[in-house]
Structure 1
Amino acid sequence: MVRRTVPYFFLVLLTLFIILNQVQLDKRMKNKKKLVEELMYFPSGKFISQVACGYDDVLSDFVWLRFIQYYGQEMLTNKEFRYLEHILDILTTLDPRFTVAYTFGALLLVTNVNDPDAGFELLSKGMRANPMKWQLPYMKAFLYYIYLEDYKLAGKFFKIAAHLPNAPDFTRRFAAFVYQRAGSIDISLYLWWELYRATKNPWEQEVAVRSIKQCTIEKIERLIDTYLQDKREFPRTLQVLVKEGFIKNIPLAPDSGEYYINHQKRIVECSTGGYLRRKWKKHL
């Protein structure tokens, strides 16, 4: 009985603290400085969780409301968001499964606070607590791609998201796209083929077919560049690349199209159409 009374006592005290704090904050909402001062003295999420006695969700709702109020106040005034990271840490400690707090919070930390390290650390915290949530690595990839232009890391986290349960097909498409931008053609091809086989959406398949052709042609172009540097001549056919050991075999396109060299145009083409990209006049 004593063991149940002690936590209950702390819960009552904590509840009284929240109610009194709520009343005071409501009276002071017109005074932003006082609201910020109150937020600064929030205990850590770990401390609150220890004395919450199982009522973490209730407390996290309270902190979420304060977070929204704080965000609104900052957007209407100087937009400094000085205590944003602190509030988000409390919120995600109280409710580690609150996916939106991680994704929306990280977006704000990167875009509004200009603190990508804090944003990525918040997402890493979320991924540790929710390893099967595709939204978390997806947001990480999005931020790497859009704001840091780090295509390799973006591709890495798009790929992680794409392989998690219930991940939509576009995560695979984005993974392939950014890997292509980063120069990892083989990984891009793998992901595009995976999307082509997995999706039931005809539009997605059509995009995948075009992108597979584009990636394959780009890969063959790079091999021809290497062949030119080594042999100082243009290959007569793509089979020469196979014979000389530059590639194991020449793949078929998803629609059974065959790749070949158009010597008249000095380009690589696909018999069923595709992205025709480069000429090699400079190498001849």
Structure 2
Amino acid sequence: MRTAITIVVALVLLAGAARLQAVRERWYPPALEEETAMYLESAAAVRRISGPYAPLVADLYWIRAIQYYGGTKRRLSPAQGGDATSGAGPGAASPTDDRYALLYPMLDITTTLDPRFNIAYRFGAIFLAEAYPNGAGRPDLAVQLLQKGLRDRPDKWEYMEDIAFVHYWYEHDYLAASQWFEKGAEAPGAPWWLRSMAATTRARGGDRAASRLTWETIRQTTEIPFLRQDAEQKLLQLRALDEIDALQQVVDQVKARTGAAPEDWASLVRARVLRGIPVDPRGTPYELAPDGRVRLSSSSRLYPLLVEPPSGTERR
């Protein structure tokens, strides 16, 4: 019962945090001191103080972590004038970038107070691993959080599955991903497809067909709405990568024929090379750079696309 209530609270807060912050910032300047206050930073100290109320305090810290994540994500969005291209580039935050610095400590406190807080581990790992600026860009901390959960529940195949996906999608470490899929498959009650995922990952690594199969499997099998939405987002990002490749071929052909890159999409529409201005699966027009490179707009809801490993790269 508590898990169901927590899922509902988490989803409502994730959906509403940005809206509430937008209303507030129309009338008041951002209170940075309030946003970065974590109350207490020591998980052990919080647990001692909380005593028998530790689960309740864990809920409060979890709600605070969601608000912190949602508010930070919104402030970094291009629509709010945030610097979406800072840090180490799309997909990773700079080690010196502290704009999500309190996220892991909040999650650490939450899961120390309640070591079996399933949603905090799984959602928290997504918040940490998600490519910057949509998340902390710290897959290493995502794995660390999930492994902490496994120390208390070593047979929790869902955490092993999540670790595998972090290695697969965010770190392109396909050997580690296949090993964690295999570990998950051996856990009691694990679904049959984890063993298939281990074999597919080991054989095909990070090609798009394998990635698409991975996320489609999650979309169809997960019982958690947020994880399903995340899988749908990844599938749309893969579709955008395919569309960018197709558009790049068109632009390269025009460039080879005319000796110059097209000025803009409109010129290709006038020349009847394209039927209309190409847009990504979320409806934002693709960008055409002066040198002829096709890329996703930083204002797209699919931004940033994760950097794919170069073709022919040896799998780790």
| CA distance in 1: counterparts of 2:150 and 2:76, whole angstroms | 32
Alignment of 1:15-94 (within 5 A): 31-39=30-38, 41-78=39-76, 80-94=99-113
Q: Runs (4+) of structure 1 moved beyond 2 Å? A: 28-32, 34-37
| Cα offset, 1:82, TM superposition | 2.0
Higher Cα Rg, which structure:
1
Whether contact under 8 Å (1:60, 1:94) holds in the other structure is yes
Q: 1:32 to 1:119 in 2, by over 3 A?
A: farther
Q: Matched residues in 2 for 1:32 and 1:81: separation? A: 16
Q: Please give the per-residue CA displacement for 1:125-167, whole angstroms capped at 9, x wherever unaligned.
A: 1111111111111000011111211111001100111111221
Q: Runs of 5+ in structure 1 lacking a partner?
A: 1-27, 183-284
**Deviation string, structure 1 residues 38-89 (Cα, Å, up to 9, x no partner):** 22x4232211111222211111111111112112211210273221011011
User: Are the equivalent residues in 2 in contact too, given 1:32–1:73 (CA < 8 A)?
Assistant: no
* One-letter amino acid matched to 1:110: A
Higher helix share: 1
Q: Report the Cα distance in structure 1 between the residues aligned to 2:51 and 2:138, rounded to whole angstroms.
A: 34
Give distance in 2, aligned partners of 1:144 and 1:150.
5
Counterpart amino acid of 1:72?
G
User: Is residue 2:118 matched to residue 1:99?
Assistant: yes
User: Contact 2:178 / 2:202 at 8 angstroms: preserved in 1?
Assistant: yes
Structure 2 residue runs of 5 or longer lacking an equivalent are: 1-23, 78-98, 206-316
CA distance in 1: counterparts of 2:192 and 2:31, whole angstroms: 44
Query: Shift of residue 117 of structure 1?
Result: 1.8
The verdict on how the C-alpha distance between 1:37 and 1:71 changes in structure 2, with shifts beyond 3 A counting, is: closer
**Which amino acid letter does the alignment assign opposite residue 154 of structure 2?**
P
Write the letter of the residue equivalent to 1:34: E
With a CA cutoff of 8 Å and minimum separation of 6, indicate the structure with the bigger relative contact order: 2
Q: From 186, 200, 203, give the equivalent of 1:163.
A: 186
Aligned residues: 155
Please give the secondary structure, in 1, of the residue aligned with 2:37.
helix
Deviations 1:169-211 (A, max 9, x none): 22121111112236xxxxxxxxxxxxxxxxxxxxxxxxxxxxx
8 Å Cα contact 2:122-2:146 kept in structure 1: yes
What letter corresponds to residue 179 of structure 1 in structure 2? R
What is the Cα-based RMSD across aligned positions, in Å?
2.2
Matched residues in 2 for 1:118 and 1:129: separation? 17
Q: Identity across aligned pairs (percent)? A: 36
